[in-house]
Amino acid sequence: MNQDQLKQAVAQAAIDHILPQLTAKSIVGVGTGSTANFFIDALARYKMDFDGAVASSEATAARLQQHGIPVYDLNSVAELEFYVDGADEANANLELIKGGGAALTREKIVAAVAQTFICIADESKLVPQLGEFPLPVEVIPMARSHVARKLVALEGDPVYREGVLTDNGNVILDVYNLDIRNARELEEKINNIVGVVSNGLFAARPANLLLLGTAAGVKTLK
């Protein structure tokens, strides 16, 4: 199985997980990225079985709409049972690094509202310790240099993701070589730097379920 087939398999596994619990009133939170795109394409086959979706990015909103799935503003939604999204890295505690697609802040917001966060990923994303993938940090543009200096003080090596603006009009610093033994503590420390909008550590709110595509089939971690 190639990587795309593994992503497709976990996307279908997420559908199989949520489908029995969806009602005509359900709204599904949908993430961003290539794995989330497989999920959107699979979800579209069942669009008569639920009301609509909340999107974690403009790209996801556009793809949902292309499939004829209504997209709601999160502010108009009182309850979100499920949020389904990919990740750049995951550990055995279901803590994640996200934001490779620069959608981390909206992803974090939708995940915060959802009762159950289902992370879908191919097996290459499961790591013993987070941090091989550079940690994305969304920053208010005028604070870029200030935040970069503070990240260096945390012994990281920030690199400005040139030419990228987030859906919120901000910039991204990708931070290499961070020591992420305590993901929760580091998530909070980085969020406390003035000028940081959010960072890609999902440790304070980890996933509830990790569906991992492996050559031997989909593995479930919880």
User: CB of residue 105 vs ligand 5RP: minimum separation in angstroms?
Assistant: 9
Tokens of 213: 């595509």
Q: What is the DSSP letter of 126?
A: B
**Nearest approach, Cβ of residue 36 and ligand 5RP (Å):** 6
Task: Dig out the tokens for 214 from the structure.
Answer: 């492996």
27 sits near ligand 5RP (criterion: CB under 6 A): no
Q: Which of 89, 107, 138, 187 is catalytic?
A: 107
Q: Give residue for tokens 């750049």.
A: 88
The window from 13-21, 92-100, 167-175, 185-193 that contacts ligand 5RP (CB under 6 A) reads: 92-100
The radius of gyration of the chain from alpha carbons, rounded to an integer in Å, stands at: 17
| Whether residue 123 lies in the annotated active site | no
Backbone conformation region of residue 90, classed left if phi is above 0, alpha if psi is from -120 to 50, else beta: beta
206 is a site residue for ligand 5RP (CB under 6 A): no
At residue 211, what is the residue type? L
DSSP 8-class letter at 188: H
**Listed residue (29, 133, 129) closest to 87, CA to CA:** 133
Is 34 near ligand 5RP (CB under 6 A)? yes
- How do 135-139 and 196-199 pair as beta strands? antiparallel
What is the closest distance, in whole angstroms, from the C-beta atom of residue 48 to ligand 5RP in the complex? 26
Q: Are 112 and 205 in contact (CB under 8 A)?
A: yes
Name the one range near ligand 5RP by CB under 6 A: 14-22, 72-80, 94-102, 141-149.
94-102
Stretch of 11-19, 30-38, 185-193, 206-214 contacting ligand 5RP, by CB under 6 A? 30-38
Binding of ligand 5RP at residue 88 (CB under 6 A)? yes
Q: Which residues are catalytic?
A: 107
Detail the residues annotated as belonging to a binding site for substrate: 32-35, 85-88, 98-101, 125
User: What residue ranges bind ligand 5RP (CB under 6 A)?
Assistant: 31-35, 85-88, 98-104, 107
